[in-house]
Amino acid sequence: MERLDLTLLTDFYELTMANGYFQNGLQDQIAYFDMFFRTIPDNGGFAIMAGVEQLVDYLQDLHFSDADIAYLRSRKLFSKDFLEYLRNFKFSCDVWAVPEGTPIFPNEPIVIVRGPMIQAQLVETMVLLTINHQSLIATKANRIVRAAQGRPVMEFGARRAQGYNGAIFGARAAFIGGCVGTSCTIAERDFGIPALGTMAHSWIQAFPSELEAFRAYARTYPDDCTLLVDTFNVLKSGVPNAIQVFREEILPRGYRPKGIRIDSGDITYLSKEARRMLDEAGFNDCKIVASNALDEYIIRDILIQGAQVDIFGVGERLITSKSEPVFGGVYKLAALETEAGIAPKIKVSENVTKITIPGFKQLWRLYDEDTGKAIADVITLADEVIDDSRPYEIFDPDHIWKRKTLSKFKARRLLTRLFEKGHCVHQRRELREIRSYCQSQVGTLWEEVLRFENPHRYYVDLSQPLWDLREGLLKEYAMK
């Protein structure tokens, strides 16, 4: 995909702060920023990390063009020295992130940026924009795919997405979350996601009759024929005409029909009746595709009611995550480097959910050695090591009397380095590999965490040294 110059896709206060840092001699101050989120969309049990590849692309190409400098000069807010600093800007930060496709949980650092204050500050907007959007769509897609209980789900939302990038990168995120393909053709060109689709109602209306429209399509695509049967009446004309065309146009050419699609009406009732009619006609291998404003709740309910649907096409409610269209990731200062070492920083709030976790950190996932299931995540200081050859005590950071000692477990670091002093060290993965990894990692979660309603809260604990650090800073601020 052709890269756009996105350097100025940033909140304006990032630039006013950067200019202020420069005027106060803080441009070389090394800072640590964390991206994390506080709540899971749709009150779910987990979210899915996505958008890392696009974040890497952005950071690799980060520079200020002559046009950028000219625009900033026109605002008359920025010093000449600062503009010259931006003209010679070269990204030199260290960046870590949780791999795409990984289940993630509230308050965990999912991206860490370490580097000169101005640089680490300037990238905030794009870090959030990129990870928030794709993580939102990947999470929604995974919910819908799980509701479909093994039936393929196609992402059909391009025309309802929030802009063209929402369609393109939404298709990518939906594929990571488990969708089998997309209606968005450019997503196949750029990412290799299978582009899928057959016809709209306008195809049927463009011919003198539904039967003639079906014949024309079958003759054009005899080896890949799926017919849209709800333009006029699914059971009285759509399915009977499809069966007639299958017999007269598809079978004589040596093929079998691929399917019919129902895009309106009572999907449960219509699919049951359509299945009966197709089976009686000898087309028990003909798939039934359902679309029309579906989401995980509708899919779950119609399957409980016995809907005979083989494939789902999901559009607007997936590509916009309509039920909860915001992934609330935030980006907060966690530490500064001083001559004495790393000085942790904490944000204190009367809203306790907004109190941050200070310091330079690492994120670990602990797995049961026997079952392979994820037990808990632990946030530690960056230089801590969880030795899984020895017993390890975990505890709820909000209710510290809740403790458990683990003995048979495996510990895995989740944060991996993307950039080292501005140099990209990220190892890119094929999108299908990311999708498979996502499926396997969701499979490590207990069924109780996967529930749509009232899922079990997966524990994200702090190590004892990190908990002590946070409590010490809170007491220090309480005494001021």
Express each pLDDT in 303-341 by its tens digit.
999 999 999 999 999 999 999 999 999 999 999 999 999
Same domain, residue pair 347 and 277: no
CA–CA separation, 8 vs 15, rounded Å?
9
Q: What is the mean pLDDT of residues 260-269?
A: 97
- The model's pTM is 0.96
Q: Are residues 387 and 269 in the same domain?
A: no
Task: Determine contact, residues 97/113, Cβ cutoff 8 Å.
Answer: no
Residue 219 belongs to what domain range?
198-286
Q: Are residues 113 and 255 in the same domain?
A: no
295 within a domain of the structure (yes/no): no
Say if 57 falls within a structural domain: yes
Q: Which two tokens stand for residue 66?
A: 């002559």
Give the total residue count for the chain. Answer: 480
Residue 345 lies in a domain: yes
CATH number, domain with residue 24: 3.20.140.10
Which one has a higher pLDDT value, 310 or 2?
310
Are residues 461 and 358 part of one domain? yes
- Report yes or no: 404 and 384 within 8 Å, Cβ to Cβ: no
C-alpha radius of gyration, the chain, whole number: 26
Residues 112 and 32 in one domain: yes
Q: What is the H or E stretch that residue 133 is in?
A: helix 124-147
Q: What is the CATH number of the domain that holds 217?
A: 3.20.20.70
More confidently predicted of 325 and 3: 325
User: Where does a domain end: 286, 317, 346?
Assistant: 286
Tens digit of pLDDT for each residue in 32-88? 999 999 999 999 999 999 999 999 999 999 999 999 999 999 999 999 999 999 999
Q: Are residues 22 and 80 part of one domain?
A: yes
**What is the pLDDT, as a whole number, of residue 349?**
86
Same domain assignment for residues 123 and 212 = no
Whether 76 is covered by a domain: the verdict is yes
pLDDT per residue as tens digits for the range 168-215: 999 999 999 999 999 999 999 999 999 999 999 999 999 999 999 999
| Same domain, residue pair 337 and 432 | yes
pLDDT reading at 2 higher than 80: no
Strands 259-262 and 311-314: unpaired
CB half-sphere exposure, 3, CA atoms < 13 A = 14
3-class secondary structure, 209: coil
Q: Could you tell me if 217 and 132 lie in one domain?
A: no
Domain boundary among 268, 286, 304: 286
Neighbour count for residue 164 (Cβ, 10 Å): 11
Shared domain for 133 and 257, answered yes or no, is: no
Confidence of residue 391 (pLDDT cuts 50, 70, 90): very high
Averaged over 338-345, what is the pLDDT?
95
Q: Is the pLDDT of residue 353 over 90?
A: no
**306/283 Cα distance (integer angstroms):** 19
State how beta strands 361-368 and 341-344 pair: unpaired
Residue 392 lies in a domain: yes
Residues 363 and 447 in one domain: yes
Same structural domain for residues 387 and 268? no
- Structural domain contains residue 80: yes
Task: Answer with the one of 255, 286, 317 that is the final residue of a domain.
Answer: 286
276 occurs within a structural domain: yes
pLDDT of res. 478 = 77
| 65, 113, 140, 436 from 53: Cα distances, Å | 23, 16, 19, 16
Residue 144 belongs to a domain: no
Non-local (6+) Cβ contacts of 156 within 8 A are 182, 183, 197, 291, 313, 314, 315, 318
Over the stretch 215-228, which tens digit does the pLDDT of each residue have?
A: 999 999 999 999 99
Position 477 scores a pLDDT of 84
Q: What average pLDDT does range 114-135 have in this prediction? A: 98
Return d(Cα 50, Cα 343) in angstroms, integer.
Answer: 30
Number of independent structural domains in the chain: 2
DSSP label of 277: H
pLDDT value for 351: 86
